Amino acid sequence: MSNKVITIERHIIEEERASHGATGDFSALLRDLTLAIKMIHRDVIRAGLVDILGATNQENVQGEIVQKLDEYANSVIFRAMDHGGHLCAMASEENETLLKIPDAYPKGKYVLLFDPLDGSSNIDANVSIGTIFSIHRRVTDSGDGTEADCLQQGYKQIAAGYTIYGPSTMLVYTAGRGVFGFTLDPSVGEFLLSHNDIRIPEHKGIYSVNEGNYNKWAPEMRKYIDWCKQDIPEEDKKAYSLRYIGSMVADVHRTLLYGGVFLYPADVKSKKGKLRLLYEANPMSFIVEQAGGKATDGLGNRLLDIMPTELHQRTPLVVGSPGNVDEVESFLQGKRK
Ligand code: P6P
């Protein structure tokens, strides 16, 4: 039994050595991001104590009331990442336009897309929330990054990850060579490898969706949800369990570890679904695929193949165990009645 204590820094360096031609630039970028995440953790866990709860009464680009922690997390990530020389631009759920690297700092070869505090409407209820990030290599030659550097298909990501601020704070990431989970040991302030090479189960009787939208879904989606609830002895199928936290990072994290499927389909109100392609669906889909899972837009398209056209565009999402995603698609494609 290995008793090696592997910090995320050590893991990143060892991964870097394994991926030939790595320059160390990427490792430094992830180290800067890890520091920002530790700072967000510090304030998230004491949010109930410090008067930073409650809305700021300002609206973000999504038209949602910005929670003070949202603002804090957004600025912490920007300030941690703007000077390292690894990025040519950033894009955040909290900002309508691209975030420019200040002229005083060198421009790098990557772009960072992030949702600084996903699930923030749950902050006051002490429900697990999270940070989601996606990293692409720039496509423009030099100077300030542009939207073109951000509007890349998800399969081109060079890394993606999320942090879940829950009973413990975990950072889960992939750099395209498997999925690794690190749990923060607050006593030493280090993320330690706790989940090596995460693999999602092939199938599980768990579905995760906001059934409050049932009457707004397409008939095929309603048929799938009705099927989930049925005991079908002739198919050796028991009714599935419904688990829905309403915080994407928590719902996807559970799906990654336990199996099953998380869905946010399109509906008559949100014709493109609710979740954001660039900094929610793409990073989560990259992680789940790297763990052996599947991710589609519910219309038979691989999620990571979608060609983005706008920074904040939404997409329907079906993500999880391959067996479960195939079940959903069989209903949505009308192959099962
Ligand atoms: P609904 C949280 O606001 C969020 O952006 C995701 O974290 C979560 O999966 C989704 O919205 C929940 O949306 O409509 O079910 O409340």
Distance, in Å, from the CA atom of 331 to the CA atom of 246, rounded to the nearest integer, reads: 24
- The alpha carbon of 295 is separated from its chain's Cα centroid by a whole number of angstroms, namely 12
- Name the pLDDT band for 55 (thresholds 50, 70, 90): low
Mean pLDDT of 112-129: 91
Is residue 247 within 6 Å of ligand 1 at its C-beta?
A: yes
pLDDT tens-digit series, residues 248-275: 999 999 999 999 999 999 999 899 999 9
Query: Quick check: 176 and 194 in contact, CB under 8 A?
Result: no
* Strand 159-165 relative to strand 169-174, pairing: antiparallel
Can you give the pLDDT at residue 14?
85
Walk across the sheet containing 110-118 and list its strands. 99-100, 87-92, 110-118, 129-137, 159-165, 169-174, 179-185, 190-195
DSSP string for 200-219: --S--SEEE--GGGGGGS-H
Global pTM reads 0.94
pLDDT tens-digit series, residues 187-238: 999 999 999 999 999 999 999 999 999 999 999 999 999 999 999 999 999 9
Which of the two residues, 119 and 277, has the higher pLDDT score?
277
Nearest one of 279, 278, 283, 277 to 264, comparing CA atoms: 277
Which stretches of 46-192 are DSSP H helices? 68-81, 147-150
pLDDT tens-digit series, residues 231-245: 999 999 999 999 999
Distance, in Å, from the CA atom of 134 to the CA atom of 147, rounded to the nearest integer, reads: 14
Is residue 246 within 6 Å of ligand 1 at its C-beta?
A: yes
Is residue 250 within 6 Å of ligand 1 at its C-beta?
A: no
Strand partners, 165: 129, 169
Is residue 138 within 6 Å of ligand 1 at its C-beta?
A: no
CA dist 111 to 82, 150, 164, 289, Å?
A: 11, 7, 22, 21
Enumerate residues 6+ apart whose C-beta is below 8 A from 203: 259, 321, 322, 323, 324
Can you give the pLDDT at residue 1?
47
Question: What is the Å distance from ligand 1's center to 275 Cα?
Answer: 7
Can you give the pLDDT at residue 336?
85
Question: What is the Å distance from ligand 1's center to 75 Cα?
Answer: 22
Enumerate residues 6+ apart whose C-beta is below 8 A from 2: none
DSSP classification of residue 295: E
Q: Is 16 a residue whose pLDDT tops 90?
A: no
Which amino acid is located at 201 in the chain?
P
Residue nearest to atom 4 of ligand 1 (CA): 119
Mean pLDDT of 3-14: 85
Q: Is 23 a residue whose pLDDT tops 80?
A: no
Question: Phi and psi at residue 10, in whole multiples of 5°?
Answer: -65, -40
Q: Is 115 exposed, middle or buried (0-12, 13-18, 19+ CB in 10 A)?
A: buried
Tokens of 93: 């759920």
Tokens of 149: 């550097």
3-state helix, strand, coil in the chain (%, to 5): 35, 25, 40
- The alpha carbon of 326 is separated from its chain's Cα centroid by a whole number of angstroms, namely 21
Ligand 1 pocket mutation pick from 123, 165, 208, 274 by most atoms within 8 angstroms of CB: 274
Question: What is the Å distance from ligand 1's center to 43 Cα?
Answer: 22
Distance, in Å, from the CA atom of 29 to the CA atom of 74, rounded to the nearest integer, reads: 17
